[in-house]
Every structure is written in C-alpha cells, then in structure tokens.
Amino acid sequence: MSSFFSQEIPISWYLLLSAVLFSLGVAGFLIKRNLITVFMSIELMLNAVNLSFVTFAHQWHAVKGQIFVLFVMVVAAAEAAVGLAIIIAVFRARATLAVDRIDLMKL
Amino acid sequence: MHLILFFVFAGFCVAGAINLLLQSHPISSALSLIVVMTSLAVLYLLLGAEFLAAAQVIVYAGAIMVLFTFVVMLLNAGREERTMGSRTARKVGFPAVVAILAVIATVILRAQGLGVAGLRDGITSTTDLSKVLFTELLLPFEVTSVLILIAILGAVALASHGDGNPHGNRDPYGNPERTAGK
C-alpha cells in the first residue's frame, strides 16, 4: 500500500488530459451558440496547452517552459480584455449574443 | 497520495469541461470553467510549478473569470437557444475533433522516453523562475508590459461610446454628440 501512495504518474497521462481538454474546447467552440461561451471555450483550449507546457517543463527540467506559460497567461488576459470589449461593442450594435445572428463583419 | 490527487483533480477538470459544454446558461459555463482552472492549478502543483499554480488561481480563476462573469451579468446573457451548430459543423467539425484527439493520443502513447512525474526532483522555485525571467528574458517581459498597455487602450477604445467608429453615431445607446471617437 505504501508503494501505491508513493507512486509516480506517467508524463503521458498529463499529456492525454491536456489533449482531452483541448478537444473538449474545440467541441465547445463548435457546439456553443453564445458568443461569451464560445470565448470561454477558447480559454479552455489555452489552459489545455498550458498544461502540456508545464508537463514538458517538468519532464526536461526546463524553467523556460514555465516562463512561456506565464507569457501565455499574460496574452490570455490581454485577449480576454480586448475580446470582451469587442463582445460588448457587438452587443451594443446588434442587441444579441447568438453567433448565428452575428454573421457580418460590419458592426 | 500523488496518484489520488492526480485522478481526483483530472476528473474535476474533465467533468468541468464537459459541464461547460452541457450547460445552456453562460453563468453556469463560467462557473464550470472556474472549476477547470482551479483543478489545473492543483495539477501544476503536482508538476512542481508552484508559482504558476498561484498565478493560475489569481490570474485565470480570479481576474479573467471575474471579467467573464461581469460581462455575462452586464449584458444580461440569457439561456442560449440550442441549434447544435450548422450542418457543416456537425458533418465536418465533430469528426475533426475526434480525429484531433485520436492523432494526439496516438502520438503521445507511442512517444518514447517520456518519464514519470514525481515531486522528488522537479520543483521549480519562484527564485529559479525569476532568475531566468529577469535576466535572460528581460526584454520579452518588458514587451509584454507594452502589450498589456496596448490591450487596455484597445479595450477602452472598443467599449467606449464611439465604439472606435469614426464615421458617426450608429451606436443606439451612445450620446450622439460624443460618438466621434473622442
């Protein structure tokens, strides 16, 4: 039993989890019909990629992988701010959040 | 202990992501995304990335998701109507998703030389991280601060009265005198 508790986890399980989360993010991007939820699916995909970055940083003992995740977080924060501002602008112009009804590039 | 923590929080991650897909109300989706992100923070701790675990909770589960829930409440986003996507999305998209997952899983499972993750040797302290970040990667770090500044300016310009539209007042809620982008 003590060997069970000290057991280590194969790296590939983390990578599989990351792949599953990424695929769920892609599926959410396709399924969801609300603009904000589509945006959340993109965040989910970013998180999945971050997990594989951290996993590989652990595997190769590389600090730069983790720093890359930090930069991804910064870019994701900037992206969320700009994206939500765009969503607010679209909602003002169209008064809807359904992606089926937002089908023109023009505001 | 390690294994149990991994399974519990990986389960939380996948369950939260599936719940994000299944919920029809955006606020429920946002809450499940918070579950995913906080569980990912625990997984980062298991991988020895202590600073990133804290940053994940503060930046993602804190700041970004607060922004999301704020916008959901501001726009009063209701229940979405479920049209299950267009026909193209169903015919091409979902097989493509399954194909992506299959390809990635095959590559991962066939890869040689992937080790195991234990906490014994792989803890990256914040000191190690900051030593590299503030010496070798100082320029990219400073450039991201410029990026953040530009993003703030862009967000303010987009969400303000003028909508960044210099040609006038198509904004139904804006003040017509003040819509010239200023």
Q: Which amino acid is located at B92 in the chain?
A: V
CATH code assigned at A22: 1.10.287.3510
Structural domain contains residue A106? no
Spell out the per-residue pLDDT of chain B, length 182, in tens.
788 899 999 999 999 999 999 998 999 999 999 999 999 999 999 998 999 999 999 999 999 999 999 999 998 877 777 665 567 777 888 888 899 999 999 988 888 777 777 766 678 888 989 999 999 999 999 999 999 999 999 999 988 865 445 554 454 554 444 444 44
> Residues of A with CB below 8 A from B148's CB?
74, 77-78
Closest Cβ–Cβ partner in A12, A36, A75 for B77: A36
Burial zone of A47 (CB within 10 Å; 0-12 exposed, 13-18 middle, 19+ buried): buried
Closest Cβ–Cβ partner in B21, B36, B155 for A31: B21
CA distance B125 to A30: 39
Chain B 131-160, residues with CB within 8 Å of chain A CB atoms: 132-133, 137, 140, 144, 147-148, 150-152, 154-156, 158-159
Q: Which amino acid is located at A61 in the chain?
A: H
Q: Which amino acid is located at B73 in the chain?
A: M
Q: What is the ipTM of this complex?
A: 0.89
Question: How close is the nearest chain A Cα to the Cα of B118, in Å?
Answer: 5
Structural domain contains residue A67? yes
Residues 6+ apart with CB under 8 A from B127: none
The interaxial angle of helices B2-22 and A11-31, nearest 10 deg, is 10
Secondary structure element (H or E) that encloses residue A10, with its range:
strand A9-10
Question: How close is the nearest chain B Cα to the Cα of A35, in Å?
Answer: 9
Owning domain of residue A75:
2-101
Structural domain contains residue A50? yes
Say whether A10 and B151 touch across the interface (CB within 8 A): no
Say whether A54 and B152 touch across the interface (CB within 8 A): no
Structural domain contains residue A107? no
How many domains does chain A divide into?
A: 1
CA distance B98 to A21: 12
Start-end of CATH 1.20.120.1200 domains in chain B: 1-81
Say whether B117 and A50 touch across the interface (CB within 8 A): no
Question: How close is the nearest chain A Cα to the Cα of B177, in Å?
Answer: 17
CA distance A63 to B10: 24
Tell me which CATH code domain B1-81 carries.
Answer: 1.20.120.1200
Tell me whether A91 touches chain B (CB under 8 Å). Answer: yes
